Amino acid sequence: MSAVRKTITSVLTAAVLTGGLALGTAGPASAAGCGTSASPVIDGASASWSIRCSDSRMTIAGWVQDTRADAKCALIRIHAGDNPPARPEACGSGVRKNFSYTFKAKNVDARLAIA
């Protein structure tokens, strides 16, 4: 195999591996409104939450679980309007943490990740 072909193959392989690693560390974001729910699963983490509303407030409540013994934590990045972000996390394989946050907002953006 020529040096040029080896270089191109190496670059393409690195790009594919990097893309796969990036995709494997975060679940899909969900900008959600009242009455919605999600149960994302990624390699090393799982979660479930629902969103309910009362007056002008939104509450996101559920759980996050670490599913792999890898010295990383499962977490959910939660953003709602101008409120400070919330970040419930579970650390240690099999550990599950319940959470509940209430915001004054019109929608909530939540993303499952590992870190």
Pairing mode, strands 41-42 and 45-54: antiparallel
pLDDT at 33: 85
* pLDDT values of the chain reduced to their tens digit, one per residue, 115 residues: 565 444 444 544 444 334 433 334 555 555 778 999 999 999 999 999 999 999 889 999 999 999 999 999 999 999 999 999 999 999 999 999 999 999 999 899 999 999 9
pLDDT at 82: 93
pLDDT at 42: 98
Spell out where 8-115 has E strands.
30-32, 37-38, 41-42, 45-54, 57-66, 73-79, 89-91, 96-103, 108-114
In the CATH scheme, what is the code of domain 3-114?
2.60.40
pLDDT at 9: 47
CA distances from 47 to 5, 90, 98, 105 (A): 43, 10, 10, 22
Contact 84, 73 (CB under 8 A): no
pLDDT at 32: 78
pLDDT at 39: 98
